[in-house]
Amino acid sequence: MYSNLQLRRCAILMIEPRGRLDLDLGNLLRGGDALRTVPRWIALAPHLDAEVDVAEDELAPLGRIGDGQWQRFDDLANTESASVLQRLLDKGLLVGDGAEHAEVRSRDQKVRDLHWNPVSAVAHVFSRWRDSDVGDDARVPRDRTLTELVAEYGFPPPHLTERVGVGQRISLPTPRSSALGELAKRRVTCRNFDPDAFLERQPFADLLRYVFGSHAVTELMPGVHALKKSHPSGGSLHPLEAYLLIRRVDGMTSGLYHYHVTDHALEPIALLAPETAADLAERFVAGQDYLADAPVHVALVARFGRTFWKYRNHVKAYRTIVLEAGHVSQNLYLAATEAGLGAFITAAINEVDIERAFGLDPLVESPLAVCGVGARSTTQDTIEFDPLETVWDSNGQRRSAD
């Protein structure tokens, strides 16, 4: 049946050992432990986008069969069990050149063509959420008090790092007052958005232009262009894209959009009813309802091929993209603060839901975080960290101006 079929191992594959506890009544009756650990072997292959259980007799063949050169099934069956080869082929850990294997082969080839670093690819694909809600995740202590956390975990690491004694420190001049310094003091993460307020079109446009837009385009050589933006980017490649969920902006229909960085224009992807947009917003931010109220959500989407073109299979390439998302979000905070608006960023997002909404392939383009911006509420229903009391006074009352 497979005499002409050629195989090779998938491009990226990691095996994680896990243990499962089972009740062992026989051992208990013999005076031993009632529980025994049953080993499990989990294959993490980014092209499959799902964990795969691997049997012990499948581990060694996976190590012996290479991921580069194609080999005939019949030739491999001379040294490996044909049934094991079939199982690995069915699981997608071995890739075949037959028509029935086209989809898996295409996904695996995409991993190869994009030059993913193996560790980064596994971390990216298998840390994405889908249909998750932070309220249901015991590892996210959303509704627990600080007292409860300290009681269970003990005290956190110290808030300061001190390497020398007080007498050895070299005092620095008092910082001079500046517009940027005052703006930074007023920068506070917003968790209380006005659920009815619309964002005015002009400040919305200003924010997109100065945070995400390109201020210049340079043709370095025919067919190769570089963008000048407001933030640094690894290799000056600027792989981040702004995909927007708009709920309430003056003169705009709620829906999904992509921001065109050189034309300073929005590209409609899907227009949505307000109720649908509201539901999607809460799903994007994994049930954080205090963030879902923002009139505009921006998914910071990484276009991996842009960076990996230069930094091929490089262990630092993925990290540079993540760092860039931090630079962009800080610019968003400062621009929003200057405009008298609130802003947030969160990594607690349902990446898979966002990818599906915008039609993104997670191996090619995927969100790293979601930002939001809009008018603040007049009441503080959710606690915000504002120790300088620039937004809220000591009684939690909104100050007259941000």
At 276-286, the pLDDT tens digits run: 999 999 999 99
Token output for 395: 């009684």
- Stretch 55-67: mean pLDDT: 95
Instruction: Please report the pLDDT score of residue 3 as a whole number.
Output: 67
Provide the terminal-to-terminal Cα distance of the chain, rounded to the nearest Å: 73
Domain containing 90 equals 6-114
Instruction: Please report the pLDDT score of residue 397 as a whole number.
Output: 84
Among 156-160, 241-245, 315-319, whose mean pLDDT is lowest?
156-160
Are 259 and 332 within one domain? yes
- In-domain check, residue 204: yes
Instruction: Please report the pLDDT score of residue 128 as a whole number.
Output: 96
User: What pTM, to 2 d.p., does this model score?
Assistant: 0.91
Are 183 and 107 within one domain? no
Instruction: Please report the pLDDT score of residue 401 as a whole number.
Output: 57
Q: Is the pLDDT of residue 313 over 70?
A: yes
Token output for 361: 């392939």
Are 360 and 260 within one domain? yes
Q: CB-hemisphere CA count at 13 Å for 210?
A: 15
Instruction: Please report the pLDDT score of residue 149 as a whole number.
Output: 86
The whole-angstrom separation of Cα 185 and Cα 312 is 40
18-27, 32-41, 133-142, 351-360: which has the highest mean pLDDT? 351-360
Residue 76 neighbours by CB under 8 Å, 6+ apart: 7, 65, 85
Helical segments of 191-296, H only: 201-211, 274-284, 289-292
The whole-angstrom separation of Cα 319 and Cα 315 is 8
- In-domain check, residue 77: yes
Q: Is the pLDDT of residue 185 over 70?
A: yes
The whole-angstrom separation of Cα 249 and Cα 296 is 8
Residue 357's φ and ψ, nearest 5 degrees, are -65, -40
- In three-state secondary structure terms, 86 is helix
> Where residue 370 sits, what CATH number does that domain have?
3.40.109.10
Q: Is the pLDDT of residue 141 over 80?
A: no
Are 191 and 316 within one domain? yes
Among 21-25, 168-172, 192-196, 291-295, whose mean pLDDT is lowest?
21-25
Please say whether the beta carbons of 328 and 373 come within 8 A. no
- In-domain check, residue 240: yes
Per-residue confidence band for 33, with pLDDT thresholds at 50, 70 and 90: confident
Q: Is the pLDDT of residue 167 over 80?
A: yes
Are 246 and 327 within one domain? yes
Residue 119's φ and ψ, nearest 5 degrees, are -65, -45
Which DSSP category does 287 fall into? T
Closest by CA to 304, choosing from 229, 351, 258, 366, is: 366
Q: Of 114, 129, 163, which residue constitutes the final position of a domain?
A: 114
Per-residue confidence band for 402, with pLDDT thresholds at 50, 70 and 90: very low
For helices 274-284 and 351-358, what crossing angle results, to 10°?
140
Token output for 153: 């975990």
* 133 compared with 94, residue with greater pLDDT: 94
Instruction: Please report the pLDDT score of residue 97 as a whole number.
Output: 95
Instruction: Please report the pLDDT score of residue 394 as a whole number.
Output: 83
Token output for 36: 């025994």
- In-domain check, residue 253: yes
- In three-state secondary structure terms, 177 is coil
Name the percent of the chain lying above pLDDT 90. Answer: 83
Q: How many domains, in total, are found in the chain?
A: 2
- In-domain check, residue 142: no
Are 66 and 209 within one domain? no
* 402 compared with 390, residue with greater pLDDT: 390
Q: Of 64, 97, 114, which residue constitutes the final position of a domain?
A: 114
Token output for 219: 């043709």
- In-domain check, residue 198: yes
Are 208 and 78 within one domain? no
Per residue in 251-278, pLDDT (tens digit) is: 999 999 999 999 999 999 999 999 999 9
Instruction: Please report the pLDDT score of residue 142 as a whole number.
Output: 66
- In-domain check, residue 121: no
Please say whether the beta carbons of 207 and 261 come within 8 A. no
Are 363 and 224 within one domain? yes
Helical segments of 168-253, H only: 179-185, 201-211
Using a 10 angstrom Cβ sphere, with 0-12 exposed, 13-18 middle and 19 or more buried, the burial of residue 213 is buried
Per residue in 84-129, pLDDT (tens digit) is: 999 999 999 999 999 999 999 999 999 999 999 999 999 999 999 9
Are 104 and 197 within one domain? no
Q: Of 89, 114, 139, which residue constitutes the final position of a domain?
A: 114
Per-residue confidence band for 20, with pLDDT thresholds at 50, 70 and 90: confident
Task: Compute the mean pLDDT over every residue in the chain, rounded to the nearest whole number.
Answer: 93
- In-domain check, residue 293: yes
Closest by CA to 210, choosing from 333, 332, 374, is: 332
Neighbours of 231 (CB within 10 A): 16
